[in-house]
């Protein structure tokens, strides 16, 4: 039999599904009540309602709830060890499981109060940038005993249902580090449905005593994974028996099977190849889970409100980092917000100019405007757009130039009106298309990256919200040069990269001598050469100086002038000369970084980027230089900074 619970005018009703209709019991009946009376009583009630229903309603005309809307207890187990192996590989570890996984079945207590129905919308866990699903099968028991044998436990199963363990993977990373079990990563939602299917109904799928139900998980119609319940390493009977040791079980308790291997997004992650991952779930995604004999569930993912923030506790014995002070000369106050820097030209500035704290700008003409760059997350970009509204209400943004592909200049583009044309260099568009999904930046906020990088990464990236960001592709691309008419004002755009990234555009407003330099310029903070070559970055500085700008808006740091360009050029020349000399002397790039005296550049913020810059120069002059992942490079920078801080 297939039992269902659905919403009706008189409240939830329970019934048996025959063909495409539900034969309902009278109001007040629940599946837990029926299960409590025993397996035979459940079967007899189903036979009676088939012949004498309280009402009959078409299945297509009702809103199904979870078969048991509020189970007394939900245990989610890990019966498929291949799922755990795949997860370990996803996180960069060995496939080999420790001995304990083969000794006892694992489970945790899930949250019965967040059980939802098979077609209900599901809200993303508040504050999560990594929402995921897990296709499982749930077994519902009759209860009535403790210390059950495996054979007795098998007889306790009254039915099966599809079980979706919605998971906030970034929250789960923090839960794991606390080492006391699952918590906020697992309690936002749990789907059961569409039916409770009795074991006899599934007899055709039993092969040699093993239930073999094929399962498929899809997102937006694209298959994510497939598998079968036949690959379970621990059976339901075994985990029920194990859970009953010294514990009485009650009617309606639910046991989840754990994830059918490959039927979840996390198994397809490769932590050392973040750009290869398809990304996590987003607002509007439709997740469909299908299991033979049990039916299917289909749910739409919805955004949720931001969580109430908590203040971190001080850590005893922690070495306080030195105060961050950007000492660069500023043409305009280096304060957060909008600054008029020339006739109908504004800069949006975010101190202190470190990782993610980037600048943007607006050029207004007659009846239209050009936006130069967006910001690292939606909240920051929305704050900027709100501040620009008095200007853009009469001169709407028609075009938005993205100077380069880094997320602190691109992520906010999703908030712009669809009519706004996104303009970027061809190589920038290519990098945006192939870069890691924006929400993967949460990895640096939540992952355990070791004793040094973990603190460093959370200090640098902890202030941003990477949830719900969707990369927007440029509609207009150019190779080297492009000009825009912004309401009667000419703005000249030059791609002077590769340097900081694979392409680096600047925007020159010649009628007022303003240059928006993107991340070719860092004032008071250390540049970083993700792409290089560094000598081309020096050439880019020379090209910017030929424009003779009076005002320069850097990608990071206070608004300055041409002297700031000269300062960055001096730093880049210093890096090249020092790295070339160190390489000739036979030093590794790490030895070179450890030995360096930064001199006049030592006071620039984020001095540890010298490690990345020396590494980039070594790659340019020596093709045998080992390739480092982004995590490895950040680790080396964090270790350099920790060592320098300790010496001071």
pLDDT digits (tens, 9 = 90+) for 360-401: 999 999 999 999 999 999 999 999 999 999 999 999 999 999
Rg of the Cα atoms in the chain: 30
Q: 116-135, pLDDT tens digit by residue?
A: 999 999 999 999 999 999 99
Q: In angstroms, rounded to a whole number, what is the distance separating the alpha carbons of residues 290 and 217?
A: 7
At 107 the three-state DSSP class reads: strand
Residue 278 has pLDDT above 90, yes or no: no
Judgement on whether residues 98 and 26 belong to the same structural domain of the protein: no
- Write out the two tokens for 381: 């970009």
Q: In angstroms, rounded to a whole number, what is the distance separating the alpha carbons of residues 529 and 533?
A: 8
Assign 285 a pLDDT band (cuts: 50, 70, 90).
Answer: very high
Domain boundary among 253, 277, 302: 302
Q: In angstroms, rounded to a whole number, what is the distance separating the alpha carbons of residues 493 and 517?
A: 10
Judgement on whether residues 464 and 411 belong to the same structural domain of the protein: yes
Judgement on whether residues 386 and 512 belong to the same structural domain of the protein: yes
Residue 46 has pLDDT above 80, yes or no: yes
Assign 317 a pLDDT band (cuts: 50, 70, 90).
Answer: confident
Residue 330 lies in a domain: no
- Write out the two tokens for 460: 């640098």
Q: What is the pLDDT of residue 38?
A: 86
Residue 642 lies in a domain: yes
Q: In angstroms, rounded to a whole number, what is the distance separating the alpha carbons of residues 198 and 219?
A: 28
Q: What is the mean pLDDT of the chain?
A: 96
Beta bridge partners of 482: 493
Judgement on whether residues 636 and 567 belong to the same structural domain of the protein: yes
Judgement on whether residues 54 and 94 belong to the same structural domain of the protein: no
CATH value at residue 624: 3.60.15.10
Judgement on whether residues 228 and 286 belong to the same structural domain of the protein: yes
Q: 476-511, pLDDT tens digit by residue?
A: 999 999 999 999 999 999 999 999 999 999 999 999
Judgement on whether residues 463 and 609 belong to the same structural domain of the protein: yes
Assign 274 a pLDDT band (cuts: 50, 70, 90).
Answer: confident
Domain boundary among 16, 32, 58: 58
Judgement on whether residues 9 and 86 belong to the same structural domain of the protein: no
Assign 323 a pLDDT band (cuts: 50, 70, 90).
Answer: confident
Q: In angstroms, rounded to a whole number, what is the distance separating the alpha carbons of residues 379 and 393?
A: 20
Residue 63 lies in a domain: no
Per-residue pLDDT, averaged over 206-221, amounts to: 95
Q: What is the pLDDT of residue 71?
A: 98
Q: Which of 435, 509, 506, 429 is nearest to 474 (CA)?
A: 429
Q: Which residue segment(s) compose the domain that 197 sits in?
A: 74-302
CATH value at residue 124: 3.90.850.10
Residue 319 has pLDDT above 80, yes or no: no
Q: 292-314, pLDDT tens digit by residue?
A: 999 999 999 999 999 999 998 98
Q: What is the pLDDT of residue 161?
A: 98
Judgement on whether residues 53 and 102 belong to the same structural domain of the protein: no
Q: What is the pLDDT of residue 520?
A: 98
Judgement on whether residues 465 and 360 belong to the same structural domain of the protein: yes
- Taking the alpha carbons of 546, 549, 550, 551 in that order, is the dihedral positive or negative? negative
Residue 647 has pLDDT above 80, yes or no: no
Residue 536 lies in a domain: yes
Residue 320 has pLDDT above 90, yes or no: no
Q: 287 phi and psi, to 5 degrees?
A: -105, 125
Judgement on whether residues 409 and 498 belong to the same structural domain of the protein: yes
Whether 609 contacts 627, CB under 8 Å: no
Residue 169 lies in a domain: yes
Residue 308 lies in a domain: no
User: Per the structure, how many domains does the chain have?
Assistant: 3
Judgement on whether residues 289 and 349 belong to the same structural domain of the protein: no
Domain boundary among 18, 33, 58: 58
Residue 133 lies in a domain: yes
Assign 322 a pLDDT band (cuts: 50, 70, 90).
Answer: confident
Residue 321 has pLDDT above 80, yes or no: no
Residue 66 lies in a domain: no
Whether 366 contacts 488, CB under 8 Å: yes
């Amino acid at each position: 039999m297939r039992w269902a619970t659905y919403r009706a005018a008189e409240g939830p009703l329970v019934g048996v599904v025959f063909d495409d209709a539900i034969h309902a019991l009278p109001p007040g009946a629940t599946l837990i009540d029926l299960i409590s009376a025993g397996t035979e009583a459940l079967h007899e009630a189903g036979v009676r309602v088939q012949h004498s229903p309280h009402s009959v309603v078409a299945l297509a005309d009702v809103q199904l709830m979870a078969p048991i809307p509020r189970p007394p207890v939900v245990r989610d187990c890990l019966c498929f060890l291949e799922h755990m192996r795949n997860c370990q590989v996803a996180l960069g570890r060995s496939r080999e499981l420790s001995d304990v996984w083969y000794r006892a079945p694992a489970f945790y207590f899930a949250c019965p109060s967040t059980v939802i129905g098979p077609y209900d919308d599901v809200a993303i866990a508040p504050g999560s940038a990594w929402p995921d699903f897990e296709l499982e099968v749930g077994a519902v028991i009759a209860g009535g005993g403790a210390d059950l044998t495996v054979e007795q436990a098998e007889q306790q199963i009254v039915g099966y249902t599809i079980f979706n363990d919605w998971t906030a993977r970034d929250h789960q990373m923090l839960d794991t580090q606390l080492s006391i079990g699952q918590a906020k990563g697992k309690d936002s939602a749990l789907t059961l449905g569409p039916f409770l299917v009795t074991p006899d109904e599934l007899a055709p799928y039993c092969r040699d005593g093993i239930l073999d139900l094929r399962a498929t998980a899809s997102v937006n119609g694209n298959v994510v994974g497939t598998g079968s319940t036949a690959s379970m390493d621990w059976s339901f009977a075994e985990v029920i028996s194990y859970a009953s040791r010294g514990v009485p079980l009650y009617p309606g308790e639910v046991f989840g099977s754990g994830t059918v291997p490959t039927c979840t997004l996390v198994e397809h992650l490769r932590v050392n190849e973040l750009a290869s991952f398809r990304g996590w779930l987003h607002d509007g995604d439709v997740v469909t889970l299908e299991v033979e004999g049990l039916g299917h569930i289909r749910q739409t993912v919805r955004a949720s409100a931001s969580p109430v923030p908590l203040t971190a506790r001080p850590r005893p014995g922690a070495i306080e980092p030195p105060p961050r002070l950007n000492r660069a000369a500023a043409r305009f106050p280096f304060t957060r917000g909008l600054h008029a820097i020339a006739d109908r030209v504004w800069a949006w500035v975010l101190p202190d100019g470190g990782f993610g704290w980037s600048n943007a700008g607006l050029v207004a003409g007659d009846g239209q405007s050009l936006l130069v760059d967006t910001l690292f997350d939606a909240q920051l970009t929305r704050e900027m757009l709100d501040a620009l509204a008095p200007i853009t209400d009469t001169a709407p943004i028609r075009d938005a130039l993205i100077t380069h592909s880094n997320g602190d200049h691109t992520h906010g583009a999703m908030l712009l009106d669809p009519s706004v044309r996104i303009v970027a260099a061809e190589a920038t568009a290519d990098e945006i298309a192939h870069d890691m999904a924006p929400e993967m930046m949460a990895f640096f906020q939540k992952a355990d990256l070791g004793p040094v990088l973990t603190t460093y990464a959370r200090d640098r990236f902890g202030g941003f919200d990477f949830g719900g960001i969707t990369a927007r592709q440029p509609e207009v691309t150019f190779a080297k040069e492009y000009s825009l008419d912004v309401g009667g004002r000419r703005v000249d755009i030059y791609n002077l990269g590769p340097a900081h990234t694979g392409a680096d555009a600047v925007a020159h407003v010649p009628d007022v001598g303003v240059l928006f330099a993107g991340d070719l310029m860092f004032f008071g903070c250390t540049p970083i050469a993700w792409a290089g070559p560094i000598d081309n970055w020096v050439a880019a500085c020379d090209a910017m100086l030929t424009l003779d700008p009076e005002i320069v808006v850097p990608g990071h740091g206070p608004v300055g002038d041409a002297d700031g360009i000269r300062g960055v050029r001096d730093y880049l020349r210093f890096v090249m000369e020092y790295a070339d000399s160190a390489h000739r002397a036979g030093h590794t790039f790490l030895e070179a970084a450890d030995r360096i005296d930064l001199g006049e550049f030592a006071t620039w913020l984020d001095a540890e980027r010298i490690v990345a810059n020396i590494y980039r120069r070594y790659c340019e002059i020596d093709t045998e230089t080992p390739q480092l992942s982004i995590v490895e490079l950040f680790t080396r920078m964090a270790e350099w900074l920790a060592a320098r801080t300790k010496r001071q």
